[in-house]
Amino acid sequence: MNTRDIDRTFGGSVPELYDTWLVPLIFQPYAVDLARRAASRLPKRVLEVAAGTGVVTRAMATALSDDATIVATDLNRPMLDRASALPIARSVDWRKADALRLPFDDGAFDIVVCQFGVMFFPDKPLAFSEALRVLAPGGAFLFNVWDRIEENEFADVVTTALSGLFPSDPPRFLARTPHGYSDRETIERDLRRGGFTRSATFETLAARSRAPSPLHPAIAYCQGTPLRNEIEARSSDELATATRICADAIASRFGPGPVEGKIQAHVVVAEL
């Protein structure tokens, strides 16, 4: 399995661990923010791409007007299965779909929303062109991306700790993919290549990530993301050891009890 496939594989127990451990740790506050921004535009037809386990979908189901419809898509069926099994405030059309080849008509939606998904797209201009294609006149593409890993403390500590466990071939998933697409000029260039002609707006939002113990973020990152695939590819017996080493590193920096670290992301709005 190549690096691209490893980075996009959310199978086995990962979707449940992702939703249980990682969503409340880092995704929830940004989901509420993105849903609020979407609702402020009073859309009637909403498309979400790379919906994952539905954290933004659930936030939008509460924030949007009663007459708004939501279509939530993801390329990964296990993630969608997890999302569709969870309680939600309104009916949602859950569909397996590739953001690079959306199965929708031109101009079918008022907004397209994507939370922390564009980093995983193998061809970002193509994905942006698809978002543009399905937007109606006056529509907008709302998405967020993580800032560089140094601005996201738990992820940075985990990556550093794993480089000590695997010094000859350190797992770099977190730095390479979730935190590897934070440069504003690169994002703006890719949006233009995708066909967006108006300058996008960017807002950098810092927040605090909190957990009851150092083990919580260690499990979230090592077992609830494709980082697990990288660890197990190096040694099928090292997952528990890697998790423990990361928990120890987090405890060393933030203390042995409840822990708190900085997270930071960029919110991007591309309008027609």
| Mean pLDDT of the residues in the chain | 95
Closest CA to 182 of 127, 133, 145: 145
Instruction: Provide the pLDDT confidence category of residue 16 given band limits of 50, 70 and 90.
Output: very high
pTM over 0.75: yes
Give the per-residue pLDDT at 13: 79
The range of the structural domain enclosing residue 242 comes to: 3-271
pLDDT > 70 in the chain, percent = 96
**Contacts of residue 60, Cβ cutoff 8 Å, sequence gap at least 6:** 35, 38, 39, 46, 48, 70, 113
Q: Name the residue with tokens 């386990």.
A: 53
Give the per-residue pLDDT at 30: 98
Q: Report whether 202 contacts 185 (CB < 8 A).
A: no
Q: Where does the chain show beta strands of DSSP type E? A: 45-48, 69-74, 93-96, 109-115, 135-146, 201-211, 259-271
pLDDT tens digit sequence for 34-71? 999 999 999 999 999 999 999 999 999 999 999 999 99
* CA distance to 22, 33, 76, 98, 226, per residue, from 207 (Å): 15, 11, 28, 30, 23
Q: H helices then E strands: how many in the chain? A: 12, 7
pLDDT > 90 in the chain, percent = 93
Tokens of 144: 């967020």
Give the per-residue pLDDT at 5: 58
Give the per-residue pLDDT at 229: 92
Alpha-carbon gap, residue 244 to 222, rounded angstroms = 10
pLDDT at 7 over 60: no
Domain count along the chain: 1
pLDDT tens digit sequence for 167-213? 999 999 999 999 999 999 999 999 999 999 999 999 999 999 999 99
CATH code: domain of residue 69: 3.40.50.150
Alpha-carbon gap, residue 221 to 199, rounded angstroms = 34
Give the per-residue pLDDT at 3: 61
Instruction: Provide the pLDDT confidence category of residue 9 given band limits of 50, 70 and 90.
Output: low
Tokens of 210: 């909190």
Give the per-residue pLDDT at 70: 98
- Higher-pLDDT residue of 110 and 15 is 110
Residue 261's DSSP bridge partners are 209
pLDDT tens digit sequence for 131-162? 999 999 999 999 999 999 999 999 999 999 99
Give the per-residue pLDDT at 12: 75
Instruction: Provide the pLDDT confidence category of residue 6 given band limits of 50, 70 and 90.
Output: low
